[in-house]
Amino acid sequence: MLQVNHVNTFIGRKRIIKDATFQADTGAIVGLIGPNGAGETTIMKTILGLTKFTGQISLSNQDVAENDHTALSKVGALIEHPAIYPFLTGFQNLKQYSIDETDLDEVVSKLEMTSYINTKAKGYSMGMKQKLGIALALLNQPQFVILDEPMNGLDIEATILVRKIIKQYAAKGTTFLISSHVLGELQKVMTNVLLINEGTIIVDKSIDDFNQVRRSQYRLLTANMKETEALFNDHQLPVNVVDGRLLIPREQLDTAQDVLNDHHVRLLELIPSGMSFEQTIVDLLRIQRGDRHEA
């Protein structure tokens, strides 16, 4: 559905997105994750042809160009804040963009907006406005949908509902690119993880492969941790301290044990690391920044 090849995005002379390459298959729900200012919103705007870029972006094998948005005809998007006319009703806002009133009514029904859809949007709560923005993105049966922080302002029931709707659309072949800092919610829907930091894609994996990364480390504690860190540095082994323990990749575990044995450093604890999704993300960002030690 989506192909991004060696894309660089510039704001003025500053390069914001750096040689980004990834793809999203039909029906995938790609979670775009990164710290504040990492480039998530910029890369979304770039895919929508809203910024100058080099490289290639294509949707369904049709190129996106700065001056030609034909490829975006079946794309829906919610970027930053819903674009709503406050003195129009919710229905009138949707009608501005709808090409099929039956589809419009279905989207309104799915998002449970019927009770207020005919009142003026200026009186909507934040959550109601957010639902209207999501409805705008889902109009006209899009093949590809970009959602930037879609759960903002939603209560628990609305969050669960939106999650369910995203899965329903994906099951029918709609591809999603979703950015959110609420990792717990994103984790419940996404099929792929796209981690970006300082404009660079550092992880592009299916959720199954990513979960293997989470389970592929061991926590190690020795009688002399300072000496252990020095030895591991000398032998080019990762030195990543979390909660007073060293995290060791499974594939380097034998080497680490050999180093400790050769230097007579007593091993006190060695257990599989079951890091949470959030901990894994933070750990990967630390490693990418070169900050391998506990803050």
Across the range 150-161, mean pLDDT stands at 92
Across the range 195-224, mean pLDDT stands at 85
Do 200 and 226 belong together in one domain?
Answer: no
Rounded distance, CA 262 to CA 65, Å?
Answer: 59
SS3 of residue 123 by DSSP: helix
Whether residue 104 lies inside any domain: the answer is yes
End-of-domain residue from the set 189, 207, 225: 207
Do 121 and 246 belong together in one domain?
Answer: no
**Is the pLDDT score of 108 beyond 60?**
yes
**Stated pTM of the model:** 0.78
Q: Read off the pLDDT of residues 20-53 as tens digits, 9 standing for 90 and up.
A: 999 999 999 999 998 888 889 999 999 998 998 9
Q: Quickly state the pLDDT bin for 75 (edges 50, 70, 90).
A: very high
Do 112 and 230 belong together in one domain?
Answer: no
**Is the pLDDT score of 275 beyond 80?**
no
Contact between 209 and 259 under an 8 Å Cβ cutoff? The reply is: no
- Ranges 85-94, 266-275, 281-290: which has the least confidence: 281-290
* Domain encompassing residue 256: 216-273
Average pLDDT, the chain: 89
End-of-domain residue from the set 207, 224, 244: 207
Q: Quickly state the pLDDT bin for 190 (edges 50, 70, 90).
A: very high
